[in-house]
Structure formats: structure tokens, C-alpha cells
Amino acid sequence: MERPELLILDEPWSGLDSSAHGTLSAIIAETAAAGSSVVFTDHRESIARVETSQRYEIDGGRVRKSLQRRQGHR
């Protein structure tokens, strides 16, 4: 499969055990590092904090907060 320009995932970690979670996280990180944009949804804030470089918090269909991770920070 060629590298996609955009990868959209809806709650991709839902129902995964810790091993599969780690594998999926690595695949997503590699895809993003190769230049793809990755967009995903998740209701768990802990996932969004760890996995993202930019985050939007949406409530009631509106963006309530936009956060961008500083270079080199997680």
C-alpha cells in the first residue's frame, strides 16, 4: 500500500489490548513521520495527549479548544 496523504481513524484504539495498542500507535507514528496527515477521534483525553501534535476539543459540535504540542514535547 502506498503512503496515504490523509488517514482518518474513528476511535482506532477502542477494544485493543495493550500489545495491539502499542502496535497501532507505532504504525500511526510511522505514517505521520513519513509525511501523512493523521486524524483520529477518541473520547479519552489521555490518548489525545500522548498521540498528537495538534488537538481539538469538540463539545456540542463546536471546537472548544485548540492545542498544539511544542516541538520536542509530548
Domain span at residue 43 reads 6-68
Specify the CATH number for the domain of residue 56.
3.40.50.300
Does residue 72 surpass a pLDDT of 50? no
* pLDDT, tens digit, 9 for 90 and up, residues 8-60: 999 999 999 999 999 998 998 889 889 999 998 888 877 766 667 888 888 99
Query: Following DSSP, what letter does each residue of the chain receive, concatenated?
Result: -PPPSEEEEESTTTT--HHHHHHHHHHHHHHHHTT-EEEEE-S-HHHHHHH-SEEEEEETTEEEEEEEPPTT--
The answer as to whether 74 is a domain residue is no
The answer as to whether 61 is a domain residue is yes
Instruction: Check residue 24 and give its pLDDT.
Output: 92
The answer as to whether 13 is a domain residue is yes
Number of structural domains in the chain: 1
Would you say the pTM of this structure is higher than 0.75?
no
